[in-house]
A and B are shown apart, each in its own frame.
Chain A
């Protein structure tokens, strides 16, 4: 049993979280209201704000992917920036070099990352906890150098400049708004997919491996297969996010995919809440907007403010925003009943 306790302390997610619960009607209604609000948003904001929210949805996809791996499956990755980069560069190279329509590059990025993640997941099977974190951290550090090394494909430090896609079918949207809806749509689809994946048999197997791998094997779960598949799916989500982000920025360069990107992802899921789907959105909002506010507070040392925010967040909500919301909600609810 010791190992189960250990796994839990590593990821910090509670085993009792109810990913298997059916959606209550008011929850579903709340969700639909939120999506409707998100649909109205791009018509009220400036172009730059729309772009920022497009990035938020892209980050949310990446964070959900990482959360599947780290929060649900208990494999710590500090190197998901690598898959974000792989997805982004797949899109950029396909559009720029081979003139592929951008719509096809997104699934291509996803598939390539699925494969790459699955393959990386196989050696990762032998690594646990800290060691996996180290190996993936080294991967994250090496990414910019590797990208620059293959400059025939990636354009070296110059990067690749793209043009923003126009809205198809004569929709009355400007490119920013179209990309916003594209990212939002893909995010909602992938979240629905992820939610279905995690609440069913597969999801229970994934969580069981995190909580007690030996007991999971005893119950007939193929640990290596599930772990490497989780790695693959997680990388696939992150790769799609990378593709969307590159489309929105319309530019890729190796140094955007530095180690800090990977760290930001890990920060995002811990701040948002490990092992929770809504946590990915909270984390994405944090990732996108807190550095901006930090910059507004202090031009001289924005990252110092960011670091201070991080530490404060961890003091106040050690289980992330999603965990905090769950606790507050639980208290309000039980108080009302008494």
Chain B
């Protein structure tokens, strides 16, 4: 029972990371119908930025917030400069541009920071926290807290601010939004910025666990895909719930199903994606896409 609870909590911690990245993916998907394959690498690159700031003596939280700000501006710039010229091109063309971005970030990170695996500090205490007989890592609890806080802020932003409302309008009905005086192009750019921001937080929260290296986000991204699929690509809240569910399921399957262990982890994500798509393609919380004939 204790092992079970411990696995659930650390599952929730990784689940929070999946939830953040899945949310970032869904935000961009809803606004532009594009899945940003570079999302994970953008997060990895921001994490490296904060790492090098800390190496130059900047305190953790200062580096954290500076990175979050840089990630936001970077996301806006990427949308304005790189994605916008192909906005009206076929979707596959945009996918290829995203893949180009992915290889650029991955390669530049390897070039600047080398492919050597680096430790990344955690802002939370090293001592484990004991509740009864259960021992929990402080970083796990901290990461869950930071993720939930971030997701809550994003929710409040979209629900209660004018800018959030304008962004939702631009995503749902660009033509009408433009007629109502909303600058749709900029709304999309802000969406990319926010997605990059959420991704950078996810990167900084996961790096102490899986260590820092240019390819660190590959496996995480596929689990984020699985989460977004499970929750539904049309539902931001669903993607978050999906992330936590996938995190817990992954941990429990790795602990209790002996042949999976760690060697078939990615195959579990594959199986999950395929099963969800076959049983309920719109995900747990998504809307079914209806075609008009």
Contact = CB atoms under 8 A, between A and B. Distances in A.
B291 A303 contact: no
Given A134-B273, A300-B111, A307-B103, A76 B92 contact: yes
A129 B29 CA distance: 13
Contacts, number: 148
Interface residues of B, number: 46
A162 interface: no
A141 B222 contact: yes
A221 interface: no
Interface in A199-252: 214
A81 B157 CA distance: 42
A322 interface: no
Contact of B104 (A141, A145, A303): A303
A304 B104 contact: yes
Interface of B: 29, 33, 35, 82, 85-86, 89-93, 95-97, 99-104, 106-108, 110-111, 218, 222, 225-226, 229, 233, 263-267, 269-270, 273-274, 277-278, 281, 291-293
Contact of A142 (B97, B106, B270): B270
Q: How large is the interface on A (under 10, 10 to 19, 20 to 34, 35 or more residues)?
A: 35 or more
Chain B's interface: helix, strand, loop or mixed, by majority?
helix
Contacts of B95: 133, 266, 270
Contact of A149 (B92, B93, B263): B263
A148 B265 CA distance: 13
Given A12-B91, A307-B102, A308-B100, A127 B281 contact: yes
B278 A123 contact: yes
Contacts of A319: 90
A145 B97 contact: no
B107 A301 contact: yes
Contact of B86 (A1, A6, A137, A318): A318
Given A304-B107, A308-B104, A134 B93 contact: no
B101 A307 contact: yes
Contacts of B102: 307
Nearest to A127: B277
Interface string A314-333: 11001100000000000000
B222 A145 contact: no
Given A2-B293, A267-B96, A303-B103, 6 more contacts: A135-B274, A259-B218, A266-B92, A301-B111, A314-B86, A318-B89
